[in-house]
Amino acid sequence: MTIKAVICDMDGVLVDSEPAHQERVRRFFADHGVEVPKEELDTLVGCSGSFFEQKATEWWTRAQHSETQDVMSAYFGWREKHGNIDYRPLINPTVRETLEQLSAMGVRLAVASSTSHEGIQQELGPSDLLRFFEIVVSGEEFSRGKPSPDIYLTTMARLGLGPDECIAVEDSDRGIAAGIAAGLRVAIKREPRFGFVQQGGTWYIDRFDELLDIVH
């Protein structure tokens, strides 16, 4: 079947942002007296904002801060003080070139990310990658995050296309499950660092430009 659109997850797929996000969270909690093990930080990869808040509240309680200040207020205040991440060097190899070629081929492009709209702008805006995507959908629009299919079903509806006309590109188990639940074929970007199982993909890729062999 002809692939008319590619729907991309952002963190991990377009931007190698997860290690930087993990380090930022780790530093925040360390500064507040809690050492969060890497295996616990790994549970955040591909998660929704509500799941992050849930885990952050658990870790905050360990530091016995739960009665003195809301953890999310403390975290965002700490982030503002310490400055934003520069995502430009973290754009994954071949992403820009591949987006350019897919666009030239007439393939429609969309982002379906668990990250907030503000976060999507921060990650993709400075590298001028947002111009490639006609549809940008954020997990903050939904009460249910990935692995719920809601974000993918909405993205396809906004594209006016069905699951047989689109593919998803994912790396996290939550994202893969969301794509499959929405009826999509999924190209899985291999990722060995976070303990993912990565099952159920139609294709497996190591570099973003391998999508060009799939969409032809």
Q: For residue range 155-182, what is the model confidence (pLDDT) as tens digits?
A: 999 999 999 999 999 999 999 999 999 9
Res. 61 pLDDT band, cuts 50 70 90: confident
Dist CA 176 CA 146 (whole Å): 9
Provide mean pLDDT across the span 106-124.
Answer: 97
Among 176, 175, 179, 178, which Cα is nearest to 166's?
179
Higher pLDDT, 49 or 150: 150
Dist CA 157 CA 195 (whole Å): 32
Q: What is the reported pTM?
A: 0.92
Higher pLDDT, 65 or 206: 206
Q: Which residue, chain included where needed, has tokens 């994202």?
A: 175
What share of the chain has pLDDT > 70, as a percent? 97
Predicted pLDDT at 116: 95
Res. 147 pLDDT band, cuts 50 70 90: very high
Under 8 Å between Cβ of 132 and 109: yes
pLDDT in tens, 186-203: 999 999 999 999 999 999
Predicted pLDDT at 66: 52
Strands (E), the chain: 5-8, 108-113, 135-138, 166-170, 185-189, 203-205
Predicted pLDDT at 166: 98
